[in-house]
Structure 1
Amino acid sequence: MNIEEFVEKYKVERHNSTSLKWDLLEERFGDADLLAMWVADMDFRTSDSITEALTKRVNHGVYGYSFVPQSYFDAYFNWMEERYSFQLKKEWIRYSTGVVAALYWFINAFTEPEDSVIILTPVYYPFHNAVRDCGRKLITCPLNNDNGYFTFDYDRFEQAIIDSRAKLYIHCSPHNPAGRVWSEEEQDKLFEICKKHNVLIVSDEIHQDFTFDDHKHIPAAVVKDGKYRDLIITVNSASKTFNLAALIHSNIIITDDILREKYDKYIKTVNQTDFNTMGLTATEAGYSSGGEWLESVKSVIYSNFVYARDTLNKELPEITVTPMEGTYLMFIDLNKIIPKEKTKEFIQDRCRLAVDFGEWFGTDYKGYVRLNLATTPENVKIAITNIIREAKLLKENDYMNVPSLLSI
């Protein structure tokens, strides 16, 4: 199925559907009349195979107590082995009501109040929130930023661990919002530092299925043939892959017996619900037969990125577009065209866009914005056109005195 056929078949109007992304714009941004390019879900219906599986479950009409069938393990395990060479075992698997919930559990299970937890910024803002909310010391270590290309600063990372005596590191792979798909060599060097200082690694791999060109996701627990597995807990989900976020189902992988025993001891004190049956059903169907749908939606997303990148590079070369090796989120630096303090006014009030702002991901990233490209090409073209037009007006006129010419 080509891009045009996929978009025509699967695009969906999401207004008035209790959509956080589209129907809470007034509450979140103070303006209901914006083009929603923020929270990371898609504007496409999920795979037909998932809809059919959910419909079958609904038609059965009974939503009583359930268990995880062997068919679920078969689908999930085959997906992980075929795509990522990660051979799983049943006894390693636990479940959570979403990756973010799992982060809170891990922090509470494996650290004590006032312990330090380290993250690499800019990074997904619930990482920050989880550490603070759990009463731990948040240690932020910036990634190197070479004109929009982000890499690990190993020396700075190690020194931050030494200085803070960090107990846990939250790894984002592929990285949101930096768009990096970390190589095995990069992760090996980083994890060796964690091993040296006995720092537990929690690896959020929810974007694992969105990689582009020749970039390949290497699960943390697979690096160097599982060299660091006794230090790693992995959490992933089909929620990003197949647009299932509201079905609140994620997989936790704990390969080490000691870590798993400690986790189990903690989790039974705070959670007695293993999974959402609908989430389980949808995940199994996606991993069983959603591969073709995924490849089609990835084609749409990457085409959107190429269009946005190339158009911005041509029309506004001052803007820095971060390469999108993975995820479906484009991170752009507007600092050369707009003062930091004017970013919201420019993007929201003038370009009429609802976005995730850079400072949400780290204090050093004011003036950056993150755009969600898992939407129709039409929406991406509107967004990019608005940014270019308003930026050119800024070049020609006094910013505060030019009326906006655009509306959505």
Structure 2
Amino acid sequence: MNETEACVVEIDIEKDYTVERAGTNSTKWDGLKSRFGRDGLLPLWVADMDFKAPECVREAIARLNGHGVYGYHMVPDGYYRAFIDWEKRRHGYEVKKEWIRFTAGVVSGLYWFINAMTQKDDACLILTPCYYPFMDAVRDTGRKLVCCDLVNTDGYYTIDFEKFEEAIRANAVKMFLLCSPHNPVGRVWTKEELRNLLEICKKYGVFVLSDEIHQDITFGGHKNIPAAAVGDYDNMLAILTSASKTFNLAGMKNSFAVIPDEAVRSRFDRFVKANRIARGSVFGYAAAEAAYRGGEPWLEKVLEVIAGNDAYLRDELASKLPGVTVTPLEGTYLVWIDLGAYVRPAELREIVQEQCGLAVDYGEWFFENRTDTHIRINLATSGKNIETAVQRLVEALGGGKEHKIK
């Protein structure tokens, strides 16, 4: 595709794109027993959408499939151009083609960069609560995990920069894994916050890897700022991002590493070569290119659905369960909810899973060795599913007496 191909402008996500996923080998819908011990739960955990991908993506895949040949392929030039244009238009960040590298998903990219840029037993730092594969990546590669807690003020999370700097100094941290926008607390970091983090890392020679996979999912006037766009930090950072969260393409296993510095690229390339990591799937390239070229109208409609689900959940819980704290949603489609006024940590799974019949991500998964009363709910689903989930929580907790965790 050389011309921009827009998907159908008149889009009704709830009516035309919401799809039944049970029985399709969906991890979210069909993998419940392995994760939660039983089936029959309403899945609101895995961070993918219950919506069909944009029409232009499905058309591009159909054209490719129609050719009928699945042999060796080169990476299309249009794939790079579509991503470069998207970054400039949506994020004001000018990416050069030579900076771009392939990863088989952002989580794979975390592992690859940790191996490429650090040594065994080196310390890697994350801000917690954080998407738990960050912790897995550090532990699985034999590095030392250092966690620095965000400051929680009535559900709004900020960074304690003094504590962040002390954690780096005390542990001789070599790498900082930044989540931006932050999963699960929904923060879209400001330019000042990003610059403060990067300045501290620069002071101590810490390499920064910024996971920006949720960059396009923002609300309320908040806009993601690429970490590399806040100042002169190119020689100490790389960005990971993808079309997967934006356009529901996670199964395509196609993500971007943006590496502005030649020396950093060389280290990454040596790791890739030594591990004989090949290109991605031809379908992944075609899907990403089509999405970036023509998927914007679809995305805007999806954002409206997510925002509507968030508003409903927030209003209903405020009205029916006023002790619940729902973190403001600046970015991502994942809402972070504290049920601690009604539920003790030991009761959380029994109430949410067994009484409410919900499959959610539990707060303790996002910390290192800590009990917690948060749940994370995926809003990228039908309004009916969100209404059902909220009603079940209200019914289970509405008659309960609030208590504070001792």
**Structure 1 length as normaliser, TM-score?**
0.95
Q: Which runs of 5+ in 1 are unaligned?
A: 397-408
Instruction: Tell me, in whole angstroms, the C-alpha distance in 2 between the residues paired with 1:266 and 1:33.
Output: 43
| 1:92, distance to aligned residue in structure 2 (A) | 0.5
1:310 deviates by: 1.1
Map of 2:4 onto structure 1 = none
Aligned partner of residue 303 in structure 2, secondary structure: helix
- The equivalent of 2:113 in structure 1 is 106
Corresponding position of 2:309: 304
* 1:270 aligned onto 2:275: yes
The structural deviation recorded for 1:395 is 3.3
Q: Deviations over 1:108-138 (max 9, x none)?
A: 1111101100000000000000000000000
Alpha-carbon distance, 1:365 to partner: 5.8
| Paired amino acid for 1:386 | R
Cα offset for 1:344? 0.4
Q: Corresponding residue for 1:87?
A: 94
1:38 alignment partner, one of 34, 45, 48: 45
Cα distance in 2 for partners of 1:147, 1:247 equals 38
1:297 alignment partner AA:
V
For residues 154-185 of structure 1, give each alpha carbon's deviation from its aligned partner in whole angstroms, at most 9, with x where no partner exists.
00000000000000000000000010000101
Q: CA deviation at 1:271?
A: 3.3
Q: Name the amino acid aligned to 2:69.
A: V
Structure 1 counterpart of 2:286: 281
Shift >4 Å, 4+ stretches: 1-4
Contact 1:215 1:325 in 2 (8 A): yes
Change (3 A) 1:366 1:241: same
Counterpart check, 1:316 vs 2:321: yes
What pairs up with 1:67-146 in 2 under 5 angstroms? 67-146=74-153
For residues 271 and 233 of structure 1, the distance between their equivalents in structure 2, rounded to whole angstroms, comes to 21
Q: Give the 5 Å matches for 1:4-403.
A: 5-224=12-231, 227-362=232-367, 363-364=369-370, 366-395=372-401
2:254–2:284 contact (8 Å) kept in structure 1: yes
User: How far apart, CA to CA, are the structure 2 residues paired with 1:2 and 1:376?
Assistant: 20
* TM-score (norm. length: structure 2): 0.95
Offset at 1:69? 1.8
Structure 2 residue runs of 5 or longer lacking an equivalent are 1-7
Q: Is the 8 A contact 1:97 1:276 kept in 2?
A: no
User: Distance between the aligned counterparts of 1:127 and 1:24, measured in 2?
Assistant: 21
**Counterpart secondary structure, 1:395:** coil
Q: Contact 2:91 / 2:226 at 8 angstroms: preserved in 1?
A: yes
The residue type paired with residue 288 of structure 2 is: T
State how far apart, in whole Å, the 2-side matches of 1:187 and 1:132 are: 25
Q: Give me the identity figure in percent.
A: 46
CA-CA distance at 1:11 after TM superposition? 0.6
Equivalent residues of 1:179, 1:327 under 8 A apart: yes
Tell me the distance in 2 between the aligned counterparts of 1:31 and 1:98.
28
Whether contact under 8 Å (1:3, 1:299) holds in the other structure is: no
CA distance in 2, matches of 1:18, 1:271: 29
Q: AA paired with 1:253?
A: V
